[in-house]
Amino acid sequence: MLRKRLRAALFLVAAALAPAFAAPAKAADQKPITIGFGMALTGGLAPNGKPALVAMQLWEHDVNDHGGLLGRPVKLVYYDDQSNPATVPGIYTKLLDVDHVDIVVSGYATNMIAPAMPIIMAHKMTFLSLFGLAVNSEFHYPQYFSFVPTGGPYPKETFAAGFFATAMAQNPKPKTLAIVGADAEFSHNAMDGALVIAKRDGLKIVYDQTYPPSTTDYTPIIRAIQATHPDLVLVCSYPPDSVGMVRAATEVGLKTKLFGGGMVGLQSTPIKEQLGPDLNGIVDYDFWLPWSKEASSAAKAFLKEYQAKAAQEGVDPLGYYLPPFAYGYMQVLQQAIEGTKSLNQDKLADYLRSHTFKTVVGDVKFGSNGEWAQPRVLEVQFRDIKGHDLAQFKNPNTETILWPQPLATGKVDYPYSNFVK
C-alpha cells in the first residue's frame, strides 16, 4: 500500500502526461521501447553510478506499471563502462549498431559522456546526458541536452560560483588562490570556469596544476600547495582523488581559509561514512538536499521508494545526490516522447528545446546551448560530523547550505584551518 502511495505522489509531477497513463492495458504485449546507455557499475565512479541505475530502474518499473509509453513497455539496455572513458565509444556503437536501441541517454559523469559524443553525432541521435559539465562547449551539437544543475550561457563558471561567492563575502577578502585537478575532461572544464571567476574577483593564482588521473598519493600535491600559502584551495576532482585529497589535507594539516569547491564524491553517502570527521570544514558544491527549501513532496516520496530499493541492492542508502536526477532525466525523456507521440530524433530534440519539464528535482527548461536555462547549484559546508555513523548524515547540521542566500541554512564556519590539527 505504501509503495502504491509513493508511486502516486511521484507521478503528480507529471500531471501533463495523464493521457499517457491511459495507454492500452496490453502494452506488455507490444515490442518494448529500448533505451540504451553505459553506466559506471565498477571502478571509481561506481559509488554514484550504481545508485543512478537503481533510480532509472525505478522509473522503468513505475512507467511500465502505468501502461508504458505510447502503448509499449520500456526496457533499459545498459553496459558497465567500468568508469573508463576508453570503453564508452564501443558501448554506444554496440547499442546503436548491434542492439538497435530506440533511444540513447548517457551514463554518469563528464568523463564518460564526452567520449560518447562522436558516436552520438555520427548517428544523429538526440542525447540526454546525466551530470556532464559543459560537455557540449566543444562539440556544439544541437541535439544534446544536459541534465545537471550547472547551466546558463556559461556552465563552466556556475559549478564553482558558490565557492567564490562564499569566499568573497568574508572580511577581509581572500587574495590568493591555489587550484588543482586531474588531467581529464571534467577537471579541465571546472578549472577553466573557476579561473574566469578568480580573475573577475581579482584573486592572485599562486598554484595552478593538474595531476595524472592514475595518481594515488596526494600528499606531495597538498604539501606543494601548502608551500604557496594560499587563502583559498579549489580542488576539481573525481571520487577516488577527492578521498585522497581530503586524507592528504588532514594528514598535512592544510592551512587555508577555504578548501574544497569542486570535489565530486563527497556527496556520496558511502564516501561520507568513510571520511567521517575528516570532512569537517570543507566547503563544496552539492545539487540537491532533502532539507533544501526547494525539495518537493514528490522528491521526498521518490527518496522513500529509492531508499527501500537501495537497502536491497546495497547501494548508497540515502541517495541524496545522483538518484533524484537519474529519475528526473528519465522523466524528461518520458515527457518528450509522450509530448511528440514519437521516437523521431528530430521531433524529440525540437520538443526538448521548447518545453518546460516537471521532474522530482523541480521544473527544468533547457537553454539554446542544451544546458539548464537557469543553474541551481548549492554550496555547502560539512561540520559537526562525529565518527562514521550513517544516521548522522540525515541531520541537516552535518551539511549546512551556505549559498545561494535564499536557501541558506547557516553561515560558513571560517577558516578551514580551524578544523585541522
E-strand spans in 155-303? 176-182, 204-211, 232-237, 258-263, 283-286
CA distance linking residue 187 with residue 258, whole number of Å: 19
Is residue 179 classed as helix, strand or coil in its secondary structure? strand
CA distance linking residue 324 with residue 331, whole number of Å: 10
Stated length of the chain: 421
| Long-range contacts of 96-101, Cβ-Cβ distance < 8 Å, separation of 24 or more | 96/36, 96/123, 96/125, 99/34, 99/36, 100/34, 101/34, 101/35, 101/36, 101/77
β-strands 378-382, 399-403: how paired?
antiparallel
Q: Does this chain's domain 2-149+296-365 share its CATH topology with 156-286+383-419? A: yes
CATH topology of domain 2-149+296-365: Rossmann fold (3.40.50)
DSSP state of 86: G
**Helices (H), ranges, 231-344:** 239-252, 269-275, 297-313, 323-340
DSSP state of 72: B
pTM: 0.92
CA distance linking residue 58 with residue 67, whole number of Å: 14
Question: Is domain 156-286+383-419 in CATH 3.40.50.2300, yes or no?
Answer: yes
Domain ranges within the chain, ordered by starting residue? 2-149+296-365, 156-286+383-419
- One digit per residue, the tens of pLDDT, for the chain of length 421 reads 444 444 544 444 444 334 343 444 456 579 999 999 999 999 999 999 999 999 999 999 999 999 999 999 999 999 999 999 999 999 999 999 999 999 999 999 999 999 999 999 999 999 999 999 999 999 999 999 999 999 999 999 999 999 999 999 999 999 999 999 999 999 999 999 999 999 999 999 999 999 999 999 999 999 999 999 999 999 999 999 999 999 999 999 999 999 999 999 999 999 999 999 999 999 999 999 999 999 999 999 999 999 999 999 999 999 999 999 999 999 999 999 999 999 999 999 999 999 999 999 999 999 999 999 999 999 999 999 999 999 999 999 999 999 999 999 999 999 999 999 7
